[in-house]
Amino acid sequence: MNTRNAYFDNAKFVLIFLVVFGHMISPYRTDSSGMLSIYHFIFIFHMPVFILLAGYFSKNFHKKGYYKKIFTKVALPYLAFQTIYTLYYSVLYTDETYTLQYLVPRWAMWFLLSLIFWKLMLPFFAKFPMWISLTISISLGLAMGFIDIDGFDKILSISRMFVFFPFFLLGYYLSQRQEPFTNLLTARNRIIASIVLLVTLIGSYSFLDDTAYTDMLYGTNTYDNVVEFLMRVSHYGIAFLVSFAFMALIPTRGFALTSIGQRSLYVYLLHGFILKWFFTTDFSKSLEPTSWGIIVLIALSILVTMLLGSRIVDWFITGTKLIVQFVTPKKAIQKFSLAFKRTFS
């Protein structure tokens, strides 16, 4: 594994662990201000960086097969897992009724649905200089907070889609520069980055100790006053800063868990099955946000990340893909991909 790939895979490994850990502590976040602060600290930057990296690796939109890849590698998995999660919820939560809705993503599936639209919007926005595209995308993200309509964010997860789109765009523009993250990886910048993250953590504990800030970090809040609008503006600035600080601390050499970063999407798609079941157990309900409870949640998050990012899961999914490719007519996929391209290009 070369240094460049190890660097990005290391980043993805840490990020997917933070995704799992953030979701793992979610039911307990309101039980203590400390837990809520940790939760908010993670959500300040973990999805922005994940989305930035998704944009960084979406630079080949001008090549043949771009729309086919969106359909086969993003749209089809979204449809499949949206269906599976709906059925899973129906079995797991027997006291509730779940209807299959493809325009209202289940839980973490908002990312896949948004990724489809980010990739579709990219060819248009990439026609303009970076400062124009980022200004427009940030303006659209800020504008989402003025739309106060019941259920608006649920349809296509549209608020999150536009709030986080600037990070995707920035990732793409960074990919047009030669080794854009290299300058971050100096001893001086690593020290500065450590200070930035520490200050952000302290700031989360001091200022983001209320559940009212959660929707803002999700990208789903609407503004009740000017202060909340300014908070969204501030969040953009802080999230961009902390994202680069995070990337400055990522090691460039591979280690035992680096390869899990290559399979981070598997962890993202599958961890909901384990966590949602875990939250229904008596053991989960008995946990409290004490030092011991946090250690247990960290250990479980590491275990889930390593299990779902293992080669065994990779082999299983690869085998499933081969079976699907074998039983699915190639012409059908080509027709759907062509219709997909004509619709959105």
- Inter-CA distances, 90 with 97, 109, 281, Å: 6, 16, 17
- Secondary structure in 3-state letters for 31-54: HCHHHHHHHHHHHHHHHHHHHHHH
Q: What is the CA radius of gyration of the chain?
A: 20
Q: What angle, rounded to 10 degrees, do the helices at 158-175 and 226-248 form?
A: 40
pLDDT at 342 over 60: no
| Token reading at 313 | 């899961």
Q: Look up residue 139 and give its two tokens.
A: 């303006």
Between 321 and 163, where is the model more confident?
163
Q: Cα(25)–Cα(294) distance, rounded to whole angstroms? A: 8
pLDDT band at residue 311 using 50, 70 and 90 as cut-offs: confident
Say which range, 41-45, 119-123, 256-260, 332-336, has the weakest mean pLDDT.
Answer: 332-336
CA distances (Å), 283 to each of 14, 33, 259, 278, in order?
A: 26, 22, 31, 8
Least confident of 180-184, 277-281, 303-307, 339-343: 339-343
Q: What is the pLDDT of residue 327?
A: 58
Given this model, what pLDDT does residue 256 score? 85
**Least reliable range by pLDDT among 26-30, 51-55, 64-68, 191-195:** 64-68
Whose CA is closest to 50, among 344, 256, 259, 246?
Answer: 246
pLDDT digits (tens, 9 = 90+) for 167-214: 999 999 999 988 899 999 999 999 999 999 999 999 998 888 777 788
Residue 284 CA to residue 24 CA, distance in Å, equals 10
Q: 168 and 141 in contact (C-beta within 8 Å)? A: no
| Dist CA 119 CA 207 (whole Å) | 35
Least confident of 77-86, 127-136, 158-167, 325-334: 325-334
Mean pLDDT over 39-61 rounds to: 94
